[in-house]
């Protein structure tokens, strides 16, 4: 908009009614959020000097896409792209509402998809898909190396096949689809069946590791074998660490193989050794993890690594810091 048209627009504002002023304020607030998010996405273009499709260097301006972000065209392959191409924000038509979903996820009490969709004026499945995009970008979040006094323990979550159609398929065609290896969890109580006792194969282990500096990790173990646990510890525990764990022999196996000092604190033993070595920090992390997962009523096990990353993202610190880290991962190609 040129200067003359802008001045005429400003002059007309004084003649607006109260209702019109409120509507204009709401529109400007939404437009401001849209411009802010668009500028954040467009900033990625400064680090991109080659075509995102073929890698050629010759680029030219090619208008803008529907969200207002700049579009570029490769002179070699003649394909166009924007700053969002190849990222988790590709084909997101309402980036300002996407930003609100991210803010809600990192708030003190995240809303349900249905409540948040009603507040944003979009379909609840749209909110769900956006959440899954954000969680996919956050997967793997956590410190890559932990040192000093390191506490490690496992947290078990009940296996969930939420959204699975295995029982429906079996009932429709038993000859083609075999009977699932266990009833649905709600059927145990409804039919009076006895649930698997103890730590069964239907308990999914999540290895949580933390040190006294505040670095944390939460990784879903692929199985219950000691080799899997040792491999994860080897990838994220430094060579100068002092390991504190419960009485599980896998931790002792790892510590002896890496020549690390190891303090074992089984349930029937002392809770603190030499006033400094304990696993109370990681146990507190388990309690917070369980409280975080409770409102979701057992998400599907296939999504458990994403929820673990979501939990860790909320522990980074202030909301702006957590959002900045999340945006950096979302815009990574």
CA 103, CA 114: separation in Å to the nearest integer? 16
The band of 1, judged by pLDDT with boundaries at 50, 70 and 90, is low
pLDDT number for residue 118: 94
Residues 147 and 260 in one domain: yes
**pLDDT at residue 29 greater than cutoff 80:** no
pLDDT tens-digit series, residues 238-285: 988 999 999 888 999 999 999 999 999 988 888 999 989 999 999 999
At 141, list the tokens: 């979040």
Residues 80 and 29 in one domain: yes
Residues 104 and 185 in one domain: no
Residue 316 C-alpha from the chain's centroid: 12
Domain boundary among 69, 85, 101: 85
pLDDT number for residue 141: 77
Average pLDDT of the chain? 86
- Is 261 within 8 Å of 255 (Cβ atoms)? yes
pLDDT number for residue 128: 94
pLDDT number for residue 174: 93
Domain boundary among 85, 107, 128: 85
Q: What is the mean pLDDT of residues 48-66?
A: 83
pLDDT number for residue 287: 94
pLDDT number for residue 60: 87
Residues 148 and 292 in one domain: yes
Residues 150 and 173 in one domain: no
Q: What is the mean pLDDT of residues 95-121?
A: 90
Where residue 82 falls (left for φ over 0; alpha for ψ -120 to 50; beta otherwise) is beta
Residue with tokens 């988790």: 88
pLDDT tens-digit series, residues 171-220: 999 999 999 988 888 888 888 888 887 668 899 999 999 999 889 999 99
Give the pTM: 0.82
* Residue 134 placed within a domain: yes
* Residue 2 placed within a domain: no
Residues 213 and 74 in one domain: no
* Residue 309 placed within a domain: yes
Residues 115 and 79 in one domain: no
pLDDT number for residue 90: 83
* Residue 68 placed within a domain: yes
3-class state of residue 59 by DSSP: strand
- Is 151 within 8 Å of 210 (Cβ atoms)? yes
The residue that leads in pLDDT, 160 or 140, is 160
Domain boundary among 68, 85, 102: 85
pLDDT number for residue 115: 94
CA distances from 233 to 50, 104, 250, 266 (A): 39, 32, 10, 19
* Residue 215 placed within a domain: yes
CA 184, CA 161: separation in Å to the nearest integer? 8
The total number of structural domains in the chain stands at: 4
The residue that leads in pLDDT, 289 or 91, is 289
* Residue 11 placed within a domain: no
**pLDDT at residue 318 greater than cutoff 80:** no
CA 49, CA 204: separation in Å to the nearest integer? 44
pLDDT number for residue 69: 78
* Residue 10 placed within a domain: no
- Is 238 within 8 Å of 226 (Cβ atoms)? no
Domain that holds residue 257: 143-159+202-298
Residues 219 and 276 in one domain: yes
pLDDT number for residue 124: 94
CATH of the domain at 222: 3.30.420.10
pLDDT number for residue 117: 94
* Residue 308 placed within a domain: yes
Residues 81 and 110 in one domain: no
CA distances from 311 to 4, 135, 270, 303, 315 (A): 51, 10, 30, 13, 7
Residues 151 and 294 in one domain: yes
Residues 237 and 260 in one domain: yes
Among residues of the chain, what percentage have pLDDT more than 90? 46
Which residues are bridge partners to 137 per DSSP? none
Residues 74 and 210 in one domain: no
DSSP, res 58: -
The band of 32, judged by pLDDT with boundaries at 50, 70 and 90, is low
CA distances from 86 to 17, 42, 81, 97, 333 (A): 45, 13, 9, 20, 5
């Amino acid at each position: 908009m040129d200067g003359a048209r802008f001045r005429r627009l400003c002059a007309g504002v004084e003649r607006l009614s109260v209702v019109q002023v409120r509507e204009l304020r709401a529109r400007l607030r939404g437009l401001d959020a849209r411009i802010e998010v668009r500028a954040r996405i467009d900033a990625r273009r400064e680090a991109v000097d080659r075509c995102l499709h073929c890698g050629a260097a010759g680029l030219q301006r090619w208008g803008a896409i529907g969200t207002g972000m700049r579009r570029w065209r490769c002179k070699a392959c003649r394909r166009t792209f924007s700053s969002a191409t190849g990222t988790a924000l590709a084909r997101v038509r309402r980036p300002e509402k996407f930003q609100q979903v991210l803010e809600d996820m990192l708030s003190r009490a995240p809303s349900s998809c249905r409540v948040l969709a009603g507040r944003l004026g979009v379909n609840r499945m749209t909110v769900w898909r956006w959440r899954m995009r954000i969680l996919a970008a956050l997967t793997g979040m956590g410190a890559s190396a932990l040192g000093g006094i390191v506490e490690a323990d496992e947290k078990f979550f009940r296996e969930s096949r939420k959204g699975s159609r295995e029982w429906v398929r079996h009932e429709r065609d038993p000859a083609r689809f075999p009977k699932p290896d266990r009833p649905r969890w709600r059927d145990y109580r409804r039919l009076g069946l006895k649930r698997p006792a103890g730590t069964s194969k239907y308990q999914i282990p999540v290895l949580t590791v933390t040190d006294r500096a505040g670095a944390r990790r939460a990784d879903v173990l692929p199985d219950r074998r000691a080799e899997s646990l040792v491999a994860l510890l080897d990838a994220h525990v430094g060579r100068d660490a002092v390991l504190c764990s419960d009485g599980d022999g896998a931790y002792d196996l790892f510590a002896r193989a890496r020549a690390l000092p190891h303090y074992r604190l089984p349930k029937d033993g002392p809770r603190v050794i030499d006033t400094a070595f304990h696993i109370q920090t990681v146990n507190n992390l388990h309690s917070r993890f369980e409280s975080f997962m409770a409102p979701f009523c057992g998400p599907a096990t296939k999504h458990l690594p994403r929820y673990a990353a979501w939990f860790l993202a909320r522990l980074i610190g202030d909301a702006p810091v957590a959002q900045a880290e999340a945006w950096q991962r979302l815009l990574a190609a």
